[in-house]
Amino acid sequence: MTPRSERHGYARDACRYAVLGMGVLALALVWVGCGGGPPRGPRFEPAAPPPAGRALVYVYRVDRVSGVGPIRIRVDGGETIELRNGEYAPLLLRSGGRRMQLSLPLFGGVSRGWNSVPFTAESGGTQFMRVWAGVEEVDRGPQGRPDDFGAPGRGDRYAGVNVFAAIWSTRESERDIRDLQLASGVPRTAQ
């Protein structure tokens, strides 16, 4: 029979390994939830000008808020791409009225909801759509909005992270985009 002190030593070691394993798992979940690290794609290179009837739209992300995971983006309900802070994606679109949808995925990849931004893609033109994550102060409303993930205890208002998008000036965009990297899985000119 094993002495009592040895049995407790084994149990203590097993407990330490279990705690260490849970800590590693928690760090891995945070890493995945926060976008998985810095961008790794090639540096920005201008794409060829678009043909008539098409528009080249560079969608790029420059955040002032750190620690926010990838933003999911789709145009007119099409294929979804993900942009992390410091990445861009060139999109070759049909000209005319378009709708860009943006979302922040929660843990497990479920989208929190889709924001929608209408814009006009100019035939034969090149445009820049800047997207970013930011903090906004929001009214709680009469029910207190328990389904929202905001900072509680601030009366009728709370702070929440949201995604934003706007067509940005060519001059500012060209300065911002030159140091960005192509989003992973996106061709140099996505269709």
In this predicted structure, what is the pLDDT of residue 57? 96
Domains of the chain, residue spans:
1-33, 54-182
Q: For position 26, what pLDDT does the model report?
A: 42
| Rounded distance between C-alpha atoms, residue 41 and residue 187, angstroms | 10
64 pLDDT tier (thresholds 50, 70, 90) = confident
Task: Output the pLDDT for position 86.
Answer: 95
Structure tokens belonging to residue 36: 């998985």
- Please check the confidence at residue 2 and state whether its pLDDT lies above 60: no
Strand partners, 81: 73
Instruction: Choose the weakest-confidence range: 35-39, 100-104, 111-115, 171-175.
Output: 35-39
> What average pLDDT does the chain have?
77
pLDDT score at 66 = 80
Residue 54 pLDDT greater than 70, yes or no: yes
Q: What average pLDDT score do residues 68-95 get? A: 92
On the question of pLDDT at 153 being above 60, the answer is: no
Q: What is the CATH number of domain 54-182?
A: 2.60.40
Q: Report the pLDDT averaged over residues 113-129.
A: 93
**What's the average model confidence in pLDDT over 55-65?**
92
pLDDT digit string, tens, across residues 75-88: 998 888 999 999 99
157-168 sheet: strands from edge to edge: 157-168, 126-139, 54-61, 87-94, 181-182
